[in-house]
């Protein structure tokens, strides 16, 4: 099955081994090994790419904006061409941590330059064969016939149909480095055992892979050189998940307990990480290393219905809500840095949506809510009439105030200044903006994709339900609308202009 981004620790291992051989340094600029790069990418270091602090716009997000779907054929060459068309980064390198598959796509090309072997070939000869991973490969041809390969499915009920019906959810990508690892559970267990046992120049491999970036003013992001760092019921873990098409995967390693758990699934609704943790509990309880867990309070192994966050046991909010219920704080808020956030009530719990990502909120009394994992606090503000009109987001490194907004429908005359044909050089694609009957805009892609946008204020529109897909228009000196940018979580400020 596809193991998705479980491929990322393979890249960390590859670069550490090449560094130990003296063929590169993780602190090398990218341009030392790769040529014909856009100017914005030349000084990025290999370490920044591995640790997701490069600021590179994510390839999968960019391809989605360009109108591609998961079942569309994608090649490594086309992906690289899309990356090279970009004109900038999401943020200055080293100043933030934001997951980006693009870095690993470029690193796969770098391995080819450094070793003289294509990355899939290097893995096959230098890692898979020595470890006995006979059923693993990095897929570069999505239409290759592979013995034992299973198709993937999604549950049709996720679109409001009978939840016992399924549909094929294929993956036809030849883009590798960030994903496209094919493997089996026994092979992933062999790789996990290698992570536990191997060293690099006398230093434990897991110690090197756990090296986190130092980001000014921010806590460490719990991500190393291709591996996430965490804990489960007080025990330290390293892990990585994978999700692509209808495939789900998770590799979970307990270094102190010498335990490896691997999960592969060809059903897109399953939560591979929750299954891995449940399996680990069974082993650790049986060995007497952990007490039996409390009765289940978290969601089961199925992914939640659309719009419901997947909660860990520590994130499930207790009972309680402000006077009047969570509804008094639900709505859209625009923070002072220009980021919209949305608070919704889902099945009786408050949920914060930032760039489409859901975070369960724990009521902390009054109009205060705690973000999961101790990430911060949301404190809401009332006016003299007692209505909630604003919010303060308190994070470890900053405090941001925001005002509450309702949709501001525009007249047909006002919408005409935004409608028509637009073109993005960065994506090499055009889109059409069409006024809708609700006073907003339809963002229409040539491939049939559509996003309904509601106006938050003049020149600022977004997909309202998720607080994602932000469209900000720009005007010339005469006040005419001449361009706009689209921002999603992993690809920000992608520019469109009148053709």
Question: For residue range 21-54, what is the model confidence (pLDDT) as tens digits?
Answer: 999 999 999 999 998 899 999 999 999 999 999 9
Q: Quick count: other Cβ atoms within 10 Å of Cβ 371?
A: 19
Q: In the predicted model, is pLDDT for residue 475 greater than 60? A: yes
Q: In the predicted model, is pLDDT for residue 319 greater than 80? A: no
Q: In the predicted model, is pLDDT for residue 314 greater than 80? A: no
Question: Burial level of 478, CB count in 10 A (0-12/13-18/19+)?
Answer: exposed
Structure tokens that stand for 196 in this block? 């536990």
Q: In the predicted model, is pLDDT for residue 309 greater than 50? A: no
Structure tokens that stand for 82 in this block? 């899309």
Mean pLDDT for the chain overall? 90
**183-187, 251-255, 452-456: segment of lowest average pLDDT:** 452-456
Q: How confident is the model at residue 316 (pLDDT cuts 50, 70, 90)?
A: very low
The Cα 255–Cα 226 span in angstroms is 16
Q: How confident is the model at residue 474 (pLDDT cuts 50, 70, 90)?
A: very high
The Cα 357–Cα 462 span in angstroms is 15
Report the pLDDT value the prediction gives residue 312, as an integer from 0 to 100: 40
Contact criterion met (CB below 8 Å) for 348 and 361: no
Q: How confident is the model at residue 242 (pLDDT cuts 50, 70, 90)?
A: very high
Length of the chain: 499
Q: In the predicted model, is pLDDT for residue 321 greater than 90? A: no
Task: Quickly tell me which residue has 């856009």 as its tokens.
Answer: 38
Of the ranges 168-172, 200-204, 309-313, the best mean pLDDT one = 200-204
Report the pLDDT value the prediction gives residue 58, as an integer from 0 to 100: 95
Q: In the predicted model, is pLDDT for residue 302 greater than 70? A: no
The Cα 31–Cα 28 span in angstroms is 8
Calculate mean pLDDT across residues 116-127.
97
Report the pLDDT value the prediction gives residue 22, as an integer from 0 to 100: 96
25 CB-side CA count, 13 A: 4
Contact criterion met (CB below 8 Å) for 16 and 225: yes
Closest C-alpha to 106, from 3, 33, 173: 33
Q: How confident is the model at residue 94 (pLDDT cuts 50, 70, 90)?
A: very high
Report the pLDDT value the prediction gives residue 295, as an integer from 0 to 100: 60
Q: In the predicted model, is pLDDT for residue 494 greater than 60? A: yes
User: DSSP letter at 418?
Assistant: T
The Cα 264–Cα 401 span in angstroms is 42
Q: In the predicted model, is pLDDT for residue 301 greater than 70? A: no
Contact criterion met (CB below 8 Å) for 453 and 441: yes
Q: How confident is the model at residue 163 (pLDDT cuts 50, 70, 90)?
A: low
Report the pLDDT value the prediction gives residue 152, as an integer from 0 to 100: 92
Q: In the predicted model, is pLDDT for residue 416 greater than 60? A: yes
pLDDT digits (tens, 9 = 90+) for 380-390: 999 999 999 99
Closest C-alpha to 255, from 242, 239, 236: 236
Output 20 or 319, whichever has higher pLDDT: 20
Q: How confident is the model at residue 159 (pLDDT cuts 50, 70, 90)?
A: very low
- 451 contacts: CB under 8 Å, gap ≥ 6: 442, 443, 463, 469
365 CB-side CA count, 13 A: 0
**87-96, 273-282, 461-470: segment of lowest average pLDDT:** 461-470
Of the ranges 64-68, 304-308, 473-477, the best mean pLDDT one = 473-477
DSSP 188-245: HHHHHHHHHH-EETTEEHHHHHTPPP--TTS---SB-SS-EEEEETTEEEEEEEEEET
The Cα 129–Cα 181 span in angstroms is 15
Q: How confident is the model at residue 162 (pLDDT cuts 50, 70, 90)?
A: low
Q: In the predicted model, is pLDDT for residue 90 greater than 60? A: yes
Q: How confident is the model at residue 157 (pLDDT cuts 50, 70, 90)?
A: low
Calculate mean pLDDT across residues 363-389.
90
Structural domains for the chain: 4-286 (3.40.710.10), 321-405 (2.40.128.50), 412-497 (2.40.128.50)
The Cα 378–Cα 126 span in angstroms is 49
Report the pLDDT value the prediction gives residue 297, as an integer from 0 to 100: 39
* Residue 253 DSSP SS3: strand
Report the pLDDT value the prediction gives residue 91, as an integer from 0 to 100: 94
Calculate mean pLDDT across residues 140-153.
90
Calculate mean pLDDT across residues 228-251.
94
Output 480 or 165, whichever has higher pLDDT: 480
Report the pLDDT value the prediction gives residue 186, as an integer from 0 to 100: 98
């Amino acid at each position: 099955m596809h193991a998705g981004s479980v491929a990322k620790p393979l890249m960390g291992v590859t670069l550490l081994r090449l560094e130990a051989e003296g063929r590169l340094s993780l602190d090398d600029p990218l341009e030392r090994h790769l040529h014909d790069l856009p100017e914005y990418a030349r000084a990025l270091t290999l370490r920044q790419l591995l640790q997701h602090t490069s600021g590179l716009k994510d390839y999968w997000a960019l391809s989605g904006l360009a109108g591609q779907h998961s079942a569309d054929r994608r090649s490594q060459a086309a992906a690289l061409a899309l990356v090279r068309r970009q004109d900038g980064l999401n943020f200055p390198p080293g100043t933030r941590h934001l997951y980006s598959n693009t870095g690993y796509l470029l690193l796969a090309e770098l391995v080819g330059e450094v070793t003289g072997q294509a990355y899939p070939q290097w893995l096959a000869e230098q890692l898979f064969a020595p470890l006995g991973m006979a059923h693993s490969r990095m897929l570069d041809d999505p239409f290759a016939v592979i013995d034992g390969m299973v198709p993937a499915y999604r549950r049709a009920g996720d679109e409001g149909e009978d939840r016992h019906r399924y549909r094929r959810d294929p993956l036809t990508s030849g883009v590798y480095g960030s994903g496209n690892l094919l493997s089996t559970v026994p092979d992933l267990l062999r790789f996990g055992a290698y992570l536990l046992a191997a060293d690099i120049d006398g230093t434990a491999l897991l110690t090197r892979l756990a090296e986190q970036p130092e980001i000014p003013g921010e806590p460490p992001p719990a991500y190393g050189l291709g591996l996430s760092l965490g804990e489960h019921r007080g025990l330290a873990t390293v892990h990585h998940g994978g999700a692509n098409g209808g495939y789900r995967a998770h590799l979970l390693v307990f270094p102190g307990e010498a335990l490896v758990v691997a999960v592969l699934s060809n059903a897109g609704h399953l939560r591979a990480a929750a299954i891995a943790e449940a399996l680990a509990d069974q082993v650790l309880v049986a060995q007497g290393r952990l007490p039996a867990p409390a009765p289940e309070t978290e969601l089961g192994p199925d992914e939640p219905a659309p719009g419901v966050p997947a909660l860990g046991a520590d994130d499930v909010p207790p009972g309680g809500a402000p006077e009047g219920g969570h509804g008094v704080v639900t709505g859209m808020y625009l923070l002072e840095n220009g980021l919209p956030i949305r608070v919704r009530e889902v099945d009786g719990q408050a949920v914060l949506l930032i760039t489409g990502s859901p975070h369960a909120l724990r009521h902390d009394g009054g109009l205060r809510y705690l973000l999961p994992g101790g990430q911060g606090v949301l404190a809401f503000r009332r006016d003299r009439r007692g209505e909630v009109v604003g919010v303060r987001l308190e994070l470890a490194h900053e405090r941001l105030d925001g005002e509450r907004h309702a949709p501001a429908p525009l007249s047909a005359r006002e919408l005409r200044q935004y409608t028509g044909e637009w073109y993005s050089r960065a994506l090499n694609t055009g889109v059409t903006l069409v006024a809708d009957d609700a006073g907003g805009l339809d963002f229409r892609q040539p491939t049939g994709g559509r996003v309904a946008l509601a106006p938050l204020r003049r020149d600022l529109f977004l997909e309202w339900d998720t607080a994602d897909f932000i469209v900000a228009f720009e005007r010339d000196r005469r006040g005419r609308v001449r361009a706009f940018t689209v921002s999603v979580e992993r690809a920000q400020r992608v520019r469109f202009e009148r053709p």
